[in-house]
């Protein structure tokens, strides 16, 4: 059974006004004091981390084999984050962008300052929160074979997780505006086929050697082989409003990785869609979410979102069945298609109340409900 780990980025907001608060240093300090006071030595220092902007807080789960265990850990860490935030005068919200206007505060680290100098306003505007999923692989060769085969399916994950319809106090007409902001990084987006681990390493080295990127950590492909862990890391999802949606994305990513690895071992080659078409599929997913058409991963032609989600479920069906995730994933997808993802929830609150402050307040509550 392949293990799965999830990284989530949360927004720190004022509990009264809903405006983002630059309090990540205070939240991290309190988390450290509490951990040290309990005498924990089980990897606690790596649970919470700072991010590019001081209005953001990141956490990472441990690798898990079961989705029940992963779900419990995400719920627990979200609750811990909410507790630490409350003690420092703010709240946490699983929002991929801030609905209310904000002046992002870039962190003080050398890396962040280099990014601000190099990329200018693109760095200052990157206060966006994503959900990254790590799935274990046996080797870099298997990992790159997976990357080549999962490319056309990744936009469907963006559509499922879409949770960023507002930007700087305005409605954007996108379900996932975070993904559009993320594309401003020079290394972000879909990739050509790599063919082999050597081809992947050569591409990464060539990109770093241009001097445009500080190091390999700034390779922001939609999916990449992790430089730190023996995993494939998929980076296309918005941070999900509800924890169960994050678990759904994680289960689907594991299904995609296992399906791709089986295809590779069986000698089935990847579908060679162009990067141009993959970019259009990503844009369509960001624009429509689950409320309109998507591009079908097999044909790259428009199809209803429900049809495309069903195609994804069929594609990974054997892997989901073998991992015991099939029933859970199908039920979660049905719930999302019926009740809506985070973008739809935000829109419905806004239409009902006309208040972006109420949107943030609702999202604070749903973040903590598990």
Give CA–CA dist 84/34, Å, rounded. Answer: 9
Evaluate whether 158 touches 282 at the Cβ level (below 8 Å): yes
Query: pLDDT digits over 51-103, tens only?
Result: 899 999 999 999 999 999 999 999 999 999 999 999 999 999 999 999 999 99
Q: How many CB atoms lie within 10 A of CB 63?
A: 18
**Mean pLDDT, residues 13-18:** 96
Core vs surface per residue 156-172: b (16+ CB within 10 A) or e: bbbbbbbbbbbbeeeeb
Neighbours of 43 (CB within 10 A): 9
**The predicted structure's pLDDT at residue 44:** 45
With beta carbons less than 8 A apart as the criterion, state whether 97 and 169 touch: no
pLDDT score, position 333: 98
Q: What is the CATH number of domain 4-368?
A: 3.30.590.20
Ranges of each domain in the chain:
4-368
Task: List the one residue out of 370, 334, 57, 87 whose CA is nearest residue 241.
Answer: 370
Question: 70-109 burial string, b = 16+ CB within 10 Å, else e?
Answer: bbbbbbebbbbbbebbeebebbbbbbbbbbbebebbbbee
Q: Are 55 and 105 in contact (CB under 8 A)?
A: yes
Stated pTM of the model: 0.96
Average pLDDT, the chain: 95
Q: pLDDT by residue (tens digit) across 310-354?
A: 999 999 999 999 999 999 999 999 999 999 999 999 999 999 999
Question: Tokens at residue 195, please?
Answer: 């063919």
* pLDDT confidence of residue 370: 64
Amino acid 43: pLDDT: 46
What does the pLDDT look like over 173-207, one tens digit per residue? Answer: 999 999 999 999 999 999 999 999 999 999 999 99
Contacts of 244 (CB under 8 A, 6+ apart): 71, 332, 370
Close Cβ partners of 307 (under 8 Å, ≥ 6 residues apart): 296
Alpha carbons within 13 angstroms on the beta-carbon side of residue 93 total 34
Q: What is the pLDDT of residue 57?
A: 96
| pLDDT in the model for residue 108 | 79
pLDDT of residue 279 exceeding 90: yes
DSSP 32-45: HHHHHHHT--SSGG
- pLDDT, residue 129, reads 98
pLDDT at 45: 46
Spatial distance between the Cα atoms of 19 and 100, rounded to a whole number of angstroms: 6
């Amino acid at each position: 059974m392949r293990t799965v780990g999830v990284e989530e980025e949360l927004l720190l907001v004022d509990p009264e006004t809903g405006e983002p608060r630059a309090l990540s240093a205070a939240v991290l300090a309190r988390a450290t004091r509490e951990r040290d006071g309990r005498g924990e030595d089980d990897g606690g220092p790596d649970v919470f981390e700072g991010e590019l902007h001081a209005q953001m807080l990141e956490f990472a789960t441990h690798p898990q084999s079961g989705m029940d265990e992963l779900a419990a850990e995400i719920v627990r860490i979200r609750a811990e984050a909410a507790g630490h935030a409350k003690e420092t005068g703010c709240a946490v919200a699983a929002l991929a962008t801030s609905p209310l206007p904000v002046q992002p505060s870039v962190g003080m680290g050398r890396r962040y300052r280099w990014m601000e100098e190099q990329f200018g306003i693109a760095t200052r505007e990157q206060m966006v929160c994503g959900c990254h999923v790590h799935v274990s692989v046996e080797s870099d060769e298997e990992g790159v074979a997976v990357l080549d085969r999962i490319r056309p399916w990744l936009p469907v994950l963006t559509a499922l997780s879409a949770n960023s319809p507002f930007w700087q106090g305005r409605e954007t007409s996108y379900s996932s505006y975070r993904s559009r902001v993320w594309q401003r990084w020079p290394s972000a987006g879909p990739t050509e086929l790599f063919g082999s681990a050597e081809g992947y390493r050569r591409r990464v080295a060539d990109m770093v050697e241009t001097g445009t990127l500080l190091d390999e950590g700034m390779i922001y492909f939609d999916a990449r082989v992790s430089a730190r862990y023996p995993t494939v890391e998929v980076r296309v999802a918005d941070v999900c409003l509800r924890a169960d949606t994050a678990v759904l994305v994680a289960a689907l990513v594991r299904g995609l990785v296992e399906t791709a690895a089986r295809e590779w071992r069986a000698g089935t080659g990847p579908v060679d869609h162009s990067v141009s078409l993959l970019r259009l599929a990503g844009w369509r997913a960001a624009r429509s979410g689950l409320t309109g058409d998507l591009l079908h991963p097999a044909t790259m032609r428009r199809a209803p979102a429900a049809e495309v989600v069903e195609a994804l479920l069929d594609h990974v069906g054997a892997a989901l069945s073998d991992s015991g995730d099939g029933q859970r994933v199908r039920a979660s997808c049905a719930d999302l298609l019926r009740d809506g993802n985070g973008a739809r929830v935000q829109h419905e609150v806004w239409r009902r109340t006309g208040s972006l402050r109420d949107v943030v307040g609702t999202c604070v509550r749903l973040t903590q409900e598990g």
